[in-house]
Amino acid sequence: HHGGVGPLPSAENLSFGSRQVINAQRKQAIAETIAKNIPDNASISLGIGTTAEAVAKQLLDKKGLKIITNNLNVASILSSKDDFTVIIAGGTVRSRDGGVIGEATLDFINQFRVDYGIIGISGVDPQDGSLLDYDYQEVRVAQSIINNSRTVFLAADSAKFGRSAMVRLGSINQVNTLFTDIKPPAAIQKILIEHDVTLTLCLPENTK
């Protein structure tokens, strides 16, 4: 903030534009690694956020994907491929980031059962692994993606560990693979081991 530095508030997220540039290289490395783990002709649910958009760009090299999304920006990116099927949820569009939320969105996503659900998160509690976010309606959509995906990928750069947000989405033990850029805190690593969650480290090229 002007004239000083303070902790991020737990009730309000950074602006969409700010989130696009923070840790951009690390988010890109995470997105590239996730895309490598998605086979051609898979079905995918892809949610809201800057990381989701980074993943969408990396998926353009794939073939025959079927994508369910509540993100207008993701839909715009992926609809450029003739061999992709992009299905977008109905609901209320947020002007700040093109996210689609609301009861209609939940009803829509609950109609599908996909191979891979890819979610981002605003914060991860460093002690108990709670997944945290700022918007209750966005959290409900992410919960539906988790519940309706055979495999769940969580994209979370290292800045998310220890970052506070007031709405609890769920627990890190609900995902199959965590994609991040450095090893998370020891308590999180213990949870991953106990619940057989795969940890995949994704480093930008200039840091390898």
Does residue 1 register a pLDDT over 80? no
* Residue 2 exposed, middle or buried by CB count within 10 Å (0-12, 13-18, 19+): exposed
pTM (2 decimals)? 0.86
The whole-number pLDDT of residue 15 equals 42
Q: Model confidence at 205, in pLDDT bands (50, 70, 90)?
A: low
The whole-number pLDDT of residue 166 equals 87
Across the beta sheet with 123-124, what order do the strands follow?
Answer: 123-124, 130-133, 167-171
Q: Model confidence at 20, in pLDDT bands (50, 70, 90)?
A: very low
Question: In angstroms, what CA-CA distances link 5 with 1, 2, 9, 98?
Answer: 6, 8, 12, 30
In 3-state terms, the chain is what percent helix, strand and coil (to 5)?
A: 35, 25, 40
Q: What percent of the chain has pLDDT over 70?
A: 87
The whole-number pLDDT of residue 9 equals 55
For residue 49, what are the β-bridge partners? none
Left, alpha or beta for 175 (phi > 0: left; psi -120 to 50: alpha)? Answer: beta
Q: What is the mean pLDDT of residues 98-124?
A: 94
Q: Please, which residues have CB within 8 angstroms of residue 174's CB and are 6 or more apart in sequence?
A: 131, 146, 152
Collapsing DSSP states into helix, strand and coil, what is residue 153? strand
Instruction: Check: CB of residue 59 under 8 Å from CB of residue 35.
Output: yes
Rg (CA), the chain: 16
The whole-number pLDDT of residue 26 equals 86
Q: What is the mean pLDDT of residues 152-179?
A: 93
CA distance 55 to 138: 18
Residues 58-61: contacts with CB under 8 Å, at least 24 apart: 58/28, 58/31, 58/32, 58/34, 59/35, 61/35
